[in-house]
Copies of this chain bind each other. A is one copy, B any other.
Amino acid sequence: MQLAMVDDRIQALEDLHKAYQDRGLFFGDGVYEVLRSYQGRIFALDEHLQRFEKSLAAIDINGVDLDMVRRRIERAFEAAEIANAKIYFHITRGAAPRSHLEQPDMEPTFLLTVTKLEDDTHAKTNGIAVSTHPDWRWKKCDIKSLNLLPNVLARRNAAKKDCYEAILVDEAGLITEGAGSAFFAIFGRSLHTAPLAANILPSITRAFVIQAARNISLQLREQSILPTQAKLADELFIAVTTQDIIPVVKFDEQTIANGAPGPFTQQLISEFRKFTHKTS
């Protein structure tokens, strides 16, 4: 008899919960998004849905109705009644007994959670420490896939060093991005970040940071830098959906500038707030 075992319980294979046979679990065969709301309003839903559509296409999961995804997100968000919420959702290629090739009649699985989001005001006010880690990720980081083990390992390594985020460094020695964030450095009035390519997630928050930088007349330089250069920056920060801009005041144990969040970073935080707290 074909069977399954979860922890120490044996059961018939056909009784195994569908979630344990999800291709997301066996292979990471799915793509995801993380959204947040500010004061009862979901931020940048269109942009996240557009990226999600690209991710689905990139791994060839077809037939997903994006309008239905949007309606589900809105329905769940309304039902949750959480003003500052974190919305996670993913779609996998579906569930079936494990085989690299999917079955022809497979239905994608949709999973979403809405949870309370705590704004990390301490990090935003005082800045954070980050540490570098080799970028072990796959060659298609522009796809927001469920294959996140290298990100987890980098983040765990950072946490062991009491760092908030891991900054990934590729084989050429250049900074790509954070394990779960975009990375920025300011030199004078120039804002540096890695150019979008297959090794960079096209971060939605990054796009808004660039708009904010334009608003305060910073010059954008889309070019990768070395950790040794990052340590000499006037200001550093990361950008992530759940917290938008967080100043970086320590990089691999090196204090950045005077060790406090820099003036341009603070201006960018204020500009960003105009996007997220628009009066309608």
Binds B, one of A139-147, A207-215, A263-271: A139-147
Q: Which residue of B lies closest to A1 (CB)?
A: B80
Q: Is the interface of A mostly helix, strand, loop or mixed?
A: mixed
Q: Which residue of B lies closest to A137 (CB)?
A: B138
Is A216 interfacial (CB-CB < 8 Å)? no
A112–B148 CB distance below 8 A: no
For window 133-189 of chain A, which residues contact chain B by CB distance below 8 Å? 134-140, 145-153, 155-156, 159, 179-180
Residue of B5, B13, B28, B110 touching A146 (CB-CB under 8 A):
B28
Residues of A within 8 A of B (CB-CB), count: 68
Complex-state Cα separation, A82 to B2, whole angstroms: 8
For window 18-36 of chain A, which residues contact chain B by CB distance below 8 Å? 19-20, 22-29
Number of copies: 2
Is A233 interfacial (CB-CB < 8 Å)? no
B101–A115 CB distance below 8 A: no
A146–B27 CB distance below 8 A: yes
Is A111 interfacial (CB-CB < 8 Å)? yes
A8-B72 contact in complex given A22-B25, A115-B13, A147-B138, C-beta closer than 8 Å: yes
Complex-state Cα separation, A149 to B150, whole angstroms: 13
Q: Name the distance in Å between A102's Cβ and chain B's nearest Cβ.
A: 8
B76–A3 CB distance below 8 A: yes
Residue of B20, B60, B140, B159 touching A156 (CB-CB under 8 A):
B60
Residues of B within 8 A of A23 (CB): 152
Residues of B within 8 A of A219 (CB): none
A152–B27 CB distance below 8 A: yes
Is A222 interfacial (CB-CB < 8 Å)? no
B25–A19 CB distance below 8 A: yes
Q: Name the distance in Å between A75's Cβ and chain B's nearest Cβ.
A: 7
Is A59 interfacial (CB-CB < 8 Å)? yes
A88-B98 contact in complex given A112-B4, A139-B136, C-beta closer than 8 Å: yes
B136–A140 CB distance below 8 A: yes
CB<8 Å pairs between A and B, sample of 20: A1-B80, A1-B82, A5-B76, A5-B89, A5-B113, A7-B110, A13-B113, A13-B114, A13-B115, A17-B17, A19-B20, A23-B152, A28-B28, A28-B147, A29-B149, A98-B113, A101-B155, A102-B156, A137-B139, A147-B148
Residues of chain A having any CB pair with chain B under 8 Å: 1-8, 10, 13, 16-17, 19-20, 22-29, 59-60, 72, 75-76, 79-82, 88-89, 92, 97-98, 100-102, 109-116, 134-140, 145-153, 155-156, 159, 179-180
